[in-house]
Amino acid sequence: MNESSLKKSLSKLNPGGLRYFDSVGSTNDEALAWAASGAKDFSLVVADEQTQGRGRLDRKWFTPKGSALAVSLILRPGAAMRPHLSRTVGLAALSVADACLKLGLSPQIKWPNDILVNGRKLAGVLVESVWSGEDVDSLVIGMGINVYRASLPPAEYLQFPAASLEEMLGKEPPTREEVLRNVLTAMLAWREKIGTARLIQAWEENLAYRGEQVQIRAGSESLITGRLAGLESDGSLRLMDAHDQSTTIRFGDVSLRPAA
């Protein structure tokens, strides 16, 4: 993967701009700075290696050289998207899931931001915003997708089992350029539907552990256990307790696990 192979592969999608790095701290940091200095809508930052890749709450995200897709997409939300910014993580997760589906895999979305294949984490999404006063000026959608086996972090870093496309497909995966093109093609289509019930419905249908007992944790503490019922229209998670009372879990520093 290099700048010219990416440009060629993505040319039909008309990205607003493209910055490619052989090695970078974090593509999200580069994209946040670029967005703040006027990057166009649908601009992309892509790196072959990240040395300071981040997950939520500054958890570490591994992107060893030559092994994975580390990409940050800048969106400048228009009037249709503005009322639905909380759905952005779902937009990204569905787009990554669609790209996996196209390869014949059966992806699931572990709310809020993980894409699982065979119950293992293949990709993660990190959405961050650039503010202008009280308004969101732009969104940065960071996506880390494990393509080759070498993308997997050492087991001691993992709180959840990980997977790569190469391993899940059992053969040489498509090029990273092709995977990215498929993710972005899906993203353009889902973006048109961001305000529709269809997006929430598709997100909900793809949820891992739907109908099962799950635990919501903050750090290592279990906050709440219940049956995963579905999503609210803003993308919050709906759980039902033992008395069929519903509770809404909003985004934040929470993670979801199957209940023991």
Counting contacts by CB under 6 A, is residue 59 touching ligand BT5? yes
- Cβ 220 to ligand BT5, closest distance in Å? 12
Nearer to ligand BT5, 113 or 138 (CB): 113
Contact, 99 vs 71, CB < 8 A?
Answer: no
- Cβ 243 to ligand BT5, closest distance in Å? 30
Residue of 15, 77, 90, 124 interacting with ligand BT5 (CB under 6 A): 124
DSSP strand pairing (135-146 vs 43-47): unpaired
Tell me how far the alpha carbon of residue 230 is from its chain's centroid: 19
Contact, 84 vs 26, CB < 8 A?
Answer: no
The site map against ligand BT5 for 153-192 (x = CB under 6 A) is x---xxx--x------------------------------
Alpha-carbon distance 93 to 108, whole Å? 9
Counting contacts by CB under 6 A, is residue 151 touching ligand BT5? yes
With CA atoms as reference, report the closest residue to 146 among 109, 117, 186, 119: 117
Neighbour order of strands in the sheet with 237-240: 246-249, 237-240, 221-231, 213-218, 255-258
- Cβ 30 to ligand BT5, closest distance in Å? 8
Nearer to ligand BT5, 8 or 60 (CB): 60
Residue of 43, 88, 95, 113 interacting with ligand BT5 (CB under 6 A): 113
- Cβ 231 to ligand BT5, closest distance in Å? 18
